[in-house]
Chain A
Amino acid sequence: MTRLSPVVLIVEDELLLRMDSAEVVENAGFEVIQAANADEAIAILTRRPDIHVVFTDIQMPGSMDGLKLAHFVRSRWPPIKIIATSGLVRIEDVDLPAGSVFVSKPYRGPEVVAVLRTLTGSA
Chain B
Amino acid sequence: MSEFGPIDDYRDLFENAPCGYLTIGPDGRITKVNATLAAWTGFEADKFIGRRLHQFLNMAGRIYCETHIAPLLRMQGFFSEFALDFETAAGERLPVIANAAERRHADGTLLFTTLVVIKATDRRRYERQLVDSRSELQRGLATERETAELREQFIAVLGHDLRNPLAAISAGARILQRSGALQQQKELRVLDMINSTVSRMSDLIDNILDFARGRLGGGITLHRDARPLEPVLEQVVDELRTASPQRLIETSFEIAEPVNCDRTRIGQLASNLIGNALTHGAQDQAVRVGARTDGAEFKLWVANAGEPVPEAAMQRLFEPFFRGEVRRSRQGLGLGLHIASQIAQAHGGRIEVTSTPDETRFVFTMPLTPAASG
Contact: B171 with A20, CB < 8 Å? yes
Contact: B160 with A16, CB < 8 Å? no
Task: Assess A19 versus B160: contact at CB under 8 Å? Given A14-B167, A14-B168, A105-B167.
Answer: no
* Count of A-B contacts judged by CB separation below 8 Å: 37
Contacting B at CB under 8 A, from A76-118, are 87-88, 105-106
Q: How far is the CB of A100 from chain B (nearest CB, A)?
A: 21
Question: 1/0 per position for B151-185, CB-CB distance to A under 8 A?
Answer: 00000110010011101111110110010000000
Q: How large is the interface on A (under 10, 10 to 19, 20 to 34, 35 or more residues)?
A: 10 to 19
SS of A interface (majority) = helix
Measured between beta carbons, the chain A residues less than 8 angstroms from B160 are: 59, 87-88
Contact: A16 with B163, CB < 8 Å? no
Q: How far is the CB of B287 from chain A (nearest CB, A)?
A: 29
Measured between beta carbons, the chain A residues less than 8 angstroms from B172 are: 16, 19-20
Across the interface, A15 reaches (CB within 8 A) one of B157, B163, B168, B174, namely: B168
User: Could you tell me the distance between the alpha carbons of A40 and B174 in the complex, rounded to whole angstroms?
Assistant: 26
Contact: A16 with B171, CB < 8 Å? yes
Contact: B168 with A16, CB < 8 Å? yes
Question: 1/0 per position for B195-223, CB-CB distance to A under 8 A?
Answer: 00000000000000000000000000000
Q: How far is the CB of A14 from chain B (nearest CB, A)?
A: 5
Contact: A19 with B175, CB < 8 Å? yes
A43 at the interface (CB under 8 A from B): no
Task: Assess A19 versus B156: contact at CB under 8 Å? Given A14-B164, A87-B163, A87-B164.
Answer: no
User: Could you tell me the distance between the alpha carbons of A19 and B179 in the complex, rounded to whole angstroms?
Assistant: 12
Measured between beta carbons, the chain A residues less than 8 angstroms from B165 are: 14
Closest Cβ neighbor of B178 among chain A residues: A23
Could you tell me which A residues sit within 8 Å of B by CB distance? 14-17, 19-21, 23, 27, 59, 87-88, 105-106
Can you show 18 pairs from A to B with CB atoms below 8 A apart? A14-B168, A16-B169, A16-B171, A16-B172, A17-B168, A17-B171, A19-B172, A20-B171, A20-B174, A20-B175, A21-B171, A23-B178, A27-B178, A87-B164, A87-B167, A88-B156, A88-B157, A106-B163
